[in-house]
């Protein structure tokens, strides 16, 4: 798949099959739509295109990124979309100027001239352009003018997609990781760079990799301890991850830190990907380091057992 930033970087196509939207999370519902785009493109012998936007429109239109945390960074989304067989993922910079593009201009300059669309797959209630004045009825009129077909995704599937996204966010914020994994078709993951911490974990036999998360708008699961898989330099390790304020030793700074099993590799500065498999417990304040160390031993034992069960999923 080719990742294209802006239509100016898009090669001239003889035609394409297109869908558009955020596709945040690229969950199983999104994947069905993307496979449909790929199948239609193959039938017509044309390239398949996902037209998407960055940052999330709500971050611009609502002026508050805290209102919606994203499930996938742009890099994560591109990797997941590529796995569905899409040929081009075209990213439009969503800013105040773009938010004022009319629906007529959107169809003419982006769909027709920019992507040479011959077929577009959109939801039954699709709205686009300034003030959301564009709809499926207008798209059909424009399709007749610019020579492209419309394929509608039915009401039930669109509602299922929206419900899935809502349930994934709810599940991650309420320790329901199995539910999130079922909707995603994989474990939820977070990536970032390992940065220097206070190294207190080393003193009790549980050194941790402190993660500086790549995208500040990424949704972080609820505070607590989780059985996780950690990927570094292409190698997967069993691990357990703590999210929270560490009330026993700190209580001031919110952190995501991971203890990798069966390795003493130096991780500072490396990129780390964490997959969240199952929750172990909520965050708790202990009487001191000795009690904390005893609990970490129990957490490790439970994490290893749960990860052993989850080896075949991912």
**Is residue 313 very low, low, confident or very high in pLDDT (cuts 50, 70, 90)?**
very low
6 secondary structure, DSSP code: S
134 in Cβ contact with 127 (< 8 Å):
yes
Nearest to 226 by CA among 312, 133, 158, 302: 302
164: tokens are: 């899935």
pLDDT in tens, 268-289: 999 999 999 999 999 988 878 8
Q: Which residues of the chain are in CATH 2.40.30.30 domains? A: 188-309
Tell me what the mean pLDDT of segment 23-33 comes to: 96
Of the two residues 207 and 197, the one the predictor is more confident about is 207
pLDDT in tens, 69-124: 999 999 999 999 999 999 999 999 999 999 999 999 999 999 999 999 999 999 99
Residue 177 pLDDT more than 50? yes
Pairing of strands 117-123, 16-20: parallel
Q: 185 in the Ramachandran plot: left (φ > 0), alpha (ψ -120 to 50) or beta?
A: left
Q: What percent of the chain has pLDDT over 90?
A: 79
- Residue 90 CA, distance from chain mean position: 16
pLDDT value of residue 314: 44
- 188-309 classified as CATH 3.40.190.10: no
Q: What's phi and psi for 97, nearest 5 deg?
A: -65, -45
Q: Which residues of the chain are in CATH 3.40.50.620 domains? A: 2-168
Tell me, which fold does domain 2-168 have in CATH?
A: Rossmann fold (3.40.50)
pLDDT value of residue 310: 65
pLDDT in tens, 248-265: 777 678 899 999 999 988
**Mean residue pLDDT across the chain:** 92
Tell me what the mean pLDDT of segment 41-49 comes to: 98
């Amino acid at each position: 798949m080719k990742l294209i930033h802006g239509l100016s970087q898009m090669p001239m196509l003889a035609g394409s099959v297109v869908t558009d939207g955020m596709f945040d999370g690229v969950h199983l519902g999104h994947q069905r739509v993307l496979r449909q785009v790929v199948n239609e493109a193959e039938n017509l012998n044309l390239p398949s295109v996902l037209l998407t936007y960055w940052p999330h429109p709500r971050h611009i239109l609502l002026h508050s990124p805290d209102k919606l945390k994203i499930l996938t960074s742009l890099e994560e989304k591109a990797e997941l979309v590529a796995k569905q067989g899409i040929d081009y993922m075209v990213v439009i910079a969503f800013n105040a100027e773009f938010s004022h593009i009319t629906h007529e201009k959107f169809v003419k300059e982006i769909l027709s001239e920019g992507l040479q669309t011959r077929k577009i797959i959109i939801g039954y209630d699709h709205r686009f352009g300034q003030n959301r004045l564009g709809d499926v009825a207008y798209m059909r009129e424009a399709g007749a003018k610019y020579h492209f077909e419309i394929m509608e995704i039915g009401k039930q599937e669109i509602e299922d997609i929206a419900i899935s996204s809502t349930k994934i966010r709810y599940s991650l914020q309420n320790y329901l990781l199995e539910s999130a994994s079922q909707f995603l078709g994989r474990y939820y993951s977070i990536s970032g760079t390992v940065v220097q911490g206070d190294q207190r974990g080393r003193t009790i036999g549980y050194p941790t990799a402190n993660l500086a998360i790549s995208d500040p708008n990424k949704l972080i699961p609820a505070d607590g301890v989780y059985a996780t898989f950690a990927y570094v330099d292409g190698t997967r390790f069993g691990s357990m991850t703590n999210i929270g304020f560490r009330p026993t030793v700190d209580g001031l700074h919110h952190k995501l830190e991971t203890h990798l099993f069966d390795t003493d590799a130096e991780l500072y500065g490396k990129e780390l990907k964490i997959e969240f498999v199952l929750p172990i417990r909520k965050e708790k304040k202990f009487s001191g380091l000795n009690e904390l160390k005893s609990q970490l031993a129990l957490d490790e034992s439970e994490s290893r057992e749960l990860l052993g069960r989850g080896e075949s999923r991912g």
